[in-house]
């Protein structure tokens, strides 16, 4: 019999709250066709098949999930036998990707057992209840059972969702120590949904924030990149700053924002615009990163108008490495962001001087992006730094007179 997960001495996990289909809004029409195929094939084979994690949370909030993950009591090898187009991935804890046409896939995870046994490098499987208590936040531990279309709640996630509360599951001291990235996820979901972090969880973040530096730079990069480019970066920045996590992850940027308060307000304003455009699907990752990084460059030698027009690519790269050194993302994204930032500063020279930019710049394929970013950045830069900025007016096409 699987060992029960003890969150703290004397704690007995409660019976789950089962919400029937008539009392919740989730319909199968809201679930992807691929996920439904996986759920039903597992169910028909006699296994438990639950929709798990963030997809259930998002459906209850009226949002469209980015992906649909499935939890089951079937082992990876059993899942693999059920789905021909699938692959087992992972080493310490294996899961299965089931593939569909168009590059789509559904991630299928076997219910996990107690966390303390996994520390002994065993592959520990468990019950749905144990798996729920292994998850990070109560609102991320809700299950949708395809067998009867009920929602299963072991941790009080439904009530926290109703009240707009972000709560870590279990003892914050233990959970944040075992995986400090959970602090970033608490910040993310508070910022994304506009929820409040409950006091015990918040105190745990303040107490353990320095432990975030123990995490792999690659994991941290993946986490903050989601937030900067997700559409909730302005409230994320505020919570990261208040919690001290921004200082731990971006020490150089934090020192800059503290030393030059207008820079923080400028950054916040740019992120507000970025969030709106991202939510409308009108901004790329590189453009969002450009808006996030530009205020740092402005405070480090690029605020004053240059004496002559030049593209400061090397200087910009050097400054970016001060912030992103160990968080290097894919080369293509880094180079596109570097190109936009250095070109923007080059174009800025002509804007500040009231001159027409050279044709070698205006003919570039990325110049329309440059114009759009300048229309976002430069007027707000003028507001916070009292610069004389006059964006060039768009030329009206002249009507050609007909010959008599």
Which residues are marked as active site? 67, 69, 136
For residue 109, list its beta bridge partners: 71
Tell me how far apart the alpha carbons of residues 364 and 342 are, in angstroms, rounded to a whole number: 14
SS3 content of the chain, % helix, strand, coil (to 5): 55, 10, 35
Tell me how far apart the alpha carbons of residues 105 and 93 are, in angstroms, rounded to a whole number: 19
Tell me how far apart the alpha carbons of residues 55 and 63 are, in angstroms, rounded to a whole number: 9
Tell me how far apart the alpha carbons of residues 88 and 97 are, in angstroms, rounded to a whole number: 7
Of 240, 297, 235, 305, the C-alpha closest to 272 is: 235
b or e along 174-192 (b: 16 or more beta carbons within 10 Å of the residue's beta carbon)?
ebbeeebbbbbbbbbbbbb
**Do residues 252 and 322 touch, judged by C-beta distance below 8 A?**
yes
Joined tokens for residue 86: 């699938």
| Residue located via tokens 């505020």 | 238
Name the E strands within 146-302.
150-153, 165-166, 196-197
3-state SS assignment for residue 186: helix
Of 119, 156, 146, 140, the C-alpha closest to 13 is: 156
């Amino acid at each position: 019999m699987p060992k029960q997960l003890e969150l703290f001495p004397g704690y007995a996990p409660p019976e789950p709250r089962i919400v029937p289909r008539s009392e919740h809004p989730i319909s199968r029409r809201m679930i992807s066709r691929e996920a439904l195929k996986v759920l039903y094939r597992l169910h028909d084979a006699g296994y438990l098949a639950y929709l798990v994690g963030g997809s259930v949370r998002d459906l209850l909030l009226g949002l469209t999930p980015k992906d649909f993950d499935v939890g089951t009591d079937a082992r990876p090898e059993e899942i693999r036998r059920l789905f021909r187009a699938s692959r087992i991935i992972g080493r310490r804890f294996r899961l299965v990707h089931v593939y569909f046409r168009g590059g789509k896939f559904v991630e299928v995870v076997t219910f996990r057992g107690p966390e303390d046994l996994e520390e002994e490098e065993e592959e520990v499987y468990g019950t749905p209840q144990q798996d729920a208590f292994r998850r990070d936040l109560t609102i991320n531990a809700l299950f949708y059972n395809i067998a009867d279309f009920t929602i299963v709640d072991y941790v009080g996630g439904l009530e926290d969702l109703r009240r707009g509360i972000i709560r870590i599951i279990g003892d914050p001291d233990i959970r944040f120590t075992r995986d400090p990235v959970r602090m970033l996820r608490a910040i993310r979901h508070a910022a994304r949904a506009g929820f409040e972090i409950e006091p015990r969880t918040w105190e745990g973040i303040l107490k353990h924030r320095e432990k975030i530096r123990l995490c792999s730079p690659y994991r941290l990069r993946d986490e903050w990149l989601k937030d900067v480019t997700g559409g909730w970066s302005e409230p994320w920045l505020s919570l990261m700053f208040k919690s001290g996590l921004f200082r731990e992850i971006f020490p150089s940027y934090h020192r800059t924002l503290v030393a030059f308060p207008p820079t923080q307000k400028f950054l916040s304003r740019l992120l507000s615009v970025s969030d709106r455009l991202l939510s409308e699907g009108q901004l790329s990752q590189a453009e969002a990163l450009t808006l996030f990084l530009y205020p740092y460059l402005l405070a480090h030698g690029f605020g004053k108008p240059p004496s002559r027009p030049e593209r400061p690519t090397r200087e910009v790269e050097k400054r970016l490495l001060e912030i992103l050194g160990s968080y290097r993302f894919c080369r293509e994204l880094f180079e596109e962001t570097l190109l936009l930032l250095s070109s923007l500063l080059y174009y800025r020279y002509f804007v500040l001087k009231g001159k027409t930019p050279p044709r070698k710049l205006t003919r570039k394929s990325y110049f329309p992006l440059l114009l759009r970013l300048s229309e976002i950045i430069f007027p707000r830069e003028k507001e916070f730094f009292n610069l004389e900025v006059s964006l060039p007016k768009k030329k009206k096409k002249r009507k050609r007179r007909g010959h008599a």
